[in-house]
Amino acid sequence: MIEENVKKLLEEIPAYNAYGEKVTLVAAVKLQTADSINRAVRGGITDIGDNHVQEFRDKYALIEGKPRRHFIGRLQTNKIKYLLGKVDLYHSVDRYGLAEELSKKSEKAGVTSNVLIQINIGNEETKGGFPLEEAEEAFKTISALPALNVEGLMAMLPATGNETLLRSLARAMRKKYDELNSNGASFKYLSMGMSGDFKLCVEEGGNMIRLGTAIFGKRSV
């Protein structure tokens, strides 16, 4: 099932892509066994994203095929040390304190960390990230840190069935991404889209999507 889901998704995704960019599918692997993750990799997954540091550590050596590793969950600064040099892209830089610590610890370890700046596009209290209005300031401050390389923006759309609202938020994200890109940034990724909303996110210009349920089926949490 998992391998077939991946194959179908990889075939399906380009059809939604209105921007002509490569759309990267990141498998969101929280709560999945190493065996399930390896099935997804066999199906064609090249990128996997973890939410929890403990799970990342437990399964790190068990993953086959050397997929690129993403960290997509909320990150506590005291856990950075377990990820340094192992994560190819941190999606969820949602506050200045985290950016500063990640830079400091990366520098000490002699690595550069690739990051995305998380935007709280729905202004939700339960979600981290900078308000959209602060995106430019956050970009300037974070890209000035010595050991970070800012490669784009990340957003989680609110859990609503209101497609008009979702589209307008996704469009606002793409607009900000393009604006910063023509204003000094050299972004490559707009990480936006989960199982419930990835079609519209890709249609509106997301070029990196993070799918869990659509690949692995329903999780208990």
Ligand X SMILES: *Cc1c(COP(=O)(O)O)cnc(C)c1O
Least distance between ligand X and beta carbon 183 (Å): 27
The residues, ordered by sequence, that sit 6+ positions from 125 with a Cβ below 8 Å of its Cβ are none
Distance, CA of 135 to CA of 79 (rounded, Å): 25
Residue pair 207/190 in contact by the 8 Å Cβ criterion: yes
Show contacts with ligand X in window 135-164 (CB under 6 A).
156
Among residues 10, 136, 195, 199, which is the contact residue for ligand X, using CB under 6 A?
Answer: 195
Beta carbon nearer to ligand X, 99 or 107: 99
Among residues 59, 174, 176, 210, which is the contact residue for ligand X, using CB under 6 A?
Answer: 210
Least distance between ligand X and beta carbon 129 (Å): 11
Q: Residue 44: how many CB atoms within 10 A of its CB?
A: 13
Q: Write the binding mask 76 to 115 for ligand X: x where contact by CB under 6 A, - elsewhere.
A: ----------------------------------------
Classified as helix, coil or strand, 150 is strand
Beta carbon nearer to ligand X, 158 or 196: 196
Q: Which of 208, 129, 206 is nearest to 171 (CA)?
A: 206
What is the signed CA dihedral for 132, 148, 47, 22, rounded to 10 degrees?
A: 60
Q: Using CB atoms, what's the residue nearest to ligand X?
A: 212
**How far, in Å, are 21, 39, 81, 122 from residue 170 at the CA level?**
16, 31, 33, 10
SS3 breakdown of the chain: % helix, strand, coil, rounded to 5?
45, 20, 40
Beta carbon nearer to ligand X, 34 or 194: 194
Is 211 a binding residue for ligand X by CB under 6 A? The answer is: yes
Least distance between ligand X and beta carbon 156 (Å): 6
Three-state secondary structure readout of 168-185: HHHHHHHHHHHHHHCCCC
Least distance between ligand X and beta carbon 108 (Å): 27
Show contacts with ligand X in window 1-60 (CB under 6 A).
28, 30, 51
What are the residues binding ligand X (CB under 6 A)?
28, 30, 51, 72-73, 156, 194-196, 210-214
